[in-house]
A and B are shown apart, each in its own frame.
Chain A
């Protein structure tokens, strides 16, 4: 169950409020929509009371054609059921009896200029995004060659410095330090920065810098889908690092599996270039070319040739 602020919804969806309800916000848990035609006709079985109710031209015309006494009774039953809010489409004139009934039960009434189908689409989109699960992660999100790369690792490992070098090389910063991650679809995560610190970075020894002011508008982007995780860690001599690139590691965030590359950090290693290479390599793999596999196959075919040659010799 999430609370939706009506003010925020009006801003995003370009709607106007006719009756603000009890508290300028409403509780909702689903992005589904109901058109209450059947309910106005008196059929309340399986009435989806938890959904936003969209009244279009059909419903409105039907309401107008009803006998006032019956209409009042139906609207009472409709509004008393605990529906979250009512949206009127097509900028239709809203009769006083509708507002009165809504007011009686404190149910917000909102009006849109858009046609009903368009209102429904936009409403579902907005609610999906507003109700999406969220989490804040420590890291830096950068757009590298169009892929959203989440740099993670311990404090002081050099995430911000790596990101800075990437920005200098023409890539774009999304968020430094705190990355707000939103799950917008089954396997799609969108990351952005908390409003307050958007496009700021902290570089140890210098302090806080404003990337947009320093590198221009081409060096930043407001949000970005996260495609992979690059995990920086201190070089550990006792640990085996991936030498071939045949195995793939993953990290799970909000139930979404993201490919993860672990990069050991050592002085003199230019991490920005290695991150670039990691992204290029991932893109190649994604497009069906795996360098490690190709090399392996080349080697195998040579071995096969050699072995068959041996047989002919003997």
Chain B
């Protein structure tokens, strides 16, 4: 299991489009990928559960990945979040 903390920096937070990008990326991996905000947990492969977290700019979230391809998944997801969800993937 790997875990990493991020602060969401893009202007609108995790609204529909960035969330969809995160889900797209997460769905490529076998591992279970969770996004944790405070006492709420969202499944990174499910759009609604990520939207339900209500992540704004400046929100601190933890990404927890558990599974066979966790390292690769964390690498890709870190890149996505740190690039503020720019279109490149």
Interface residues of A, Cβ cutoff 8 Å to B: 134, 136, 138, 155-156, 176-178, 193-194, 196-197, 200-202, 208
Could you tell me the distance between the alpha carbons of A107 and B10 in the complex, rounded to whole angstroms? 40
In the bound complex, residues from chain B placing their C-beta under 8 Å from that of A177 are 43, 46-49, 52
- A155-B43, A178-B42 known; A200 vs B48 contact (CB < 8 Å): yes
Cα–Cα distance between A134 and B38 once the two chains are bound (Å): 13
Is the Cβ of A194 less than 8 Å from the Cβ of B52? yes
Q: Using A155-B27, A196-B54 as known contacts, say yes or no to A208 and B46 having CB atoms under 8 A apart.
A: no
Contact with A along B36-79 (1 / 0, CB 8 A): 00011111011111011010000000000000000000000000
B residues near A196, Cβ cutoff 8 Å = 51-52, 54
Contacting A202 at CB < 8 Å: which of B40, B47, B54? Answer: B47
Q: A178-B43, A178-B48, A201-B48 are in contact. List 11 more A-B contacts (CB 8 A).
A: A136-B40, A136-B49, A138-B43, A138-B46, A177-B46, A177-B47, A194-B40, A196-B54, A197-B48, A197-B52, A208-B16
Q: Are A155 and B45 in contact (CB under 8 A)?
A: yes
A32 to B42, CA, bound (A): 33
Q: Are A197 and B51 in contact (CB under 8 A)?
A: yes
List A contacts of B39 (CB < 8 A).
134
**Docked-complex contact A208 and B47, CB < 8 angstroms:** yes
List B contacts of A208 (CB < 8 A).
16, 47-48
Q: B-side binding surface: helix, strand, loop or mixed? A: mixed
For B52, the chain A residues whose CB sits under 8 A away are 177-178, 193-194, 196-197
Contact A176 B27 (CB under 8 A): no
Kindly list chain B residues whose C-beta atoms are within 8 Å of the C-beta of A193. Answer: 52
CB-based A-B contact count at 8 angstroms:
45
A136 and B41: CB pair below 8 A? Answer: yes
List of A residues within 8 angstroms of B48 by Cβ: 176-178, 197, 200-202, 208
Roughly how many angstroms separate A201 CA and B52 CA in the complex, as a whole number?
12
Nearest opposing residue in chain A for B42, CB measure = A178
Size of the B side of the interface (Cβ < 8 Å), in residues, is: 15
Please report the C-alpha to C-alpha distance between residue A208 and residue B27 in the assembled complex, in whole angstroms.
17
Chain B residues with Cβ below 8 Å from A155 are 27, 43, 45-46
Residues on A with C-beta less than 8 A from B40 are 136, 194
Cα distance, A159 to B27, chains bound together (Å): 16
B42 / chain A contacts, CB cutoff of 8 Å = 136, 178
Measured between beta carbons, the chain A residues less than 8 angstroms from B46 are: 138, 155, 177-178, 202
How far, in whole Å, are A226 and B41 apart by their CA atoms in the complex?
A: 20
Which of chain A's residues has its CB closest to B41's CB? A136
> What distance in Å separates the Cβ of A211 from its nearest Cβ neighbour in chain B?
12
Minimum CB distance partner of A176 in chain B? B48
Contacts of B51 in A (CB 8 A): 196-197
| A176: chain B residues within 8 A (beta carbon) | 48
Q: Least Cβ distance of B73 to chain A in Å?
A: 13
CA–CA, A94 to B27, complex, Å? 60
Tell me the bound Cα distance from A202 to B46 in angstroms. 8
Q: Which residues of A contact B45 (CB under 8 A)?
A: 155-156
Task: Scan residues 6-50 of chain B and give those whose CB is less than 8 A from a CB of chain A.
Answer: 16, 27, 39-43, 45-49
CB pairs A–B below 8 angstroms (28 shown) = A134-B39, A136-B41, A136-B49, A138-B46, A155-B43, A155-B45, A155-B46, A156-B27, A176-B48, A177-B43, A177-B46, A177-B49, A177-B52, A178-B43, A178-B46, A178-B48, A178-B52, A193-B52, A196-B51, A196-B52, A197-B48, A197-B52, A201-B48, A202-B47, A202-B48, A208-B16, A208-B47, A208-B48
Q: Once the chains are docked, how many angstroms separate the CA of A155 from the CA of B42?
A: 13
Q: How far is the CA of A156 from the CA of B47 in the complex (A)?
A: 12
Of listed B16, B39, B45, B49, residue having the most chain A CB within 10 A: B49
